[in-house]
Structure 1
């Protein structure tokens, strides 16, 4: 018994500080996530946003969610797939549904406070964060979205985008390499394949990738993945987004 007690007293010295503090985690990357509403047809694609947040949480990232305080382009009844003419909604207020209320106005996003920024997809990126859904290659990008993309680019901090949101980078950062998946519909598997040509018209460069893959533009530090540009099983979307998140975090060096 005395021998056992003596060993217990010496154990901390034998193991050393590394073993005593082995469970301590180093600070994770500080990542801003920018939403565009709540719902695939008039805001953020909820599954994409959730997947991004799950993967960031798993990797120990410190996340802050933002959205612009602006009216939505329009409101869609997702049950009927029709525009609700008499209703209007606010992008920040709707995005707060996904953020569980923990959200800030995009105007408050400072590049100095974050190591990376990620934009989920959904038609909100093409309707609320830009006018791409209406104007195509002549679209305009929300000024706060444009500022954020330019600020992170100038600071050399990584930018992640998925689904339709890579068009934002193609427009704001000419010459950026992105992927929105394939350039042919392939019998309906890639229903939005025409977006690849729009990316080129906007001034970007398109790389063909499958849904579980990512494209990393090392020069511009932009990471993209197709997500729901592809008609496929949900877990493929989840895996592709996970690869995007990991690539973004790797670029932060944290």
Structure 2
């Protein structure tokens, strides 16, 4: 199958972090020719991960906390760079992976919508055309001049989802953040995801909520200790994951 047939290709992917406060390797380390072997204080968050995604697939990403799920989404989004292997993304990405990503605390809701939508590639004309719809979806009509830092976590999630769900990008990345919103707003977000899937969008959905995974996803990928433990139809992946979890 040709590369053009895929939305995402992940090949022998690996990324490592430091356990100390420095986090990733420094620029000095890179120019010093740091090897791919783990050094003291480093660990591989993901290692030797390979899979491909065809356009329109909806994939549930499962695994315990700390197994590399969120790291994978950040690599697909281009927020992180791999230490080995590569990620090839064919088409734009709409990432809902960190509720504070791109938002500035001292700017108002109005200013943040314009800034964040612009950072995601919306033109000024598009932002103006979609602005009222974004605010209405987020239910923040009475908070346009409120600084972002004064919003509750639930309000921040509503604003982030409202902006990202308006992006005309073929790949949607969702990482647990909907768990913060109230039940009524979560259902509104779920209906919006249903609409995006009906349009043929590709979905990566990280969640510990099995009901949500079954609602949206047909395929599952299961990470354990930073490696891809299983890639199969979602029901089979959940059976394996639940069995592994019960056994420990």
How does the TM-score come out when normalised to structure 1? 0.32
Question: Per residue, is there more strand in 1 or in 2?
Answer: 2
| More contact order relative to length (CA 8 Å, sep ≥ 6) | 2
How does the TM-score come out when normalised to structure 2? 0.33
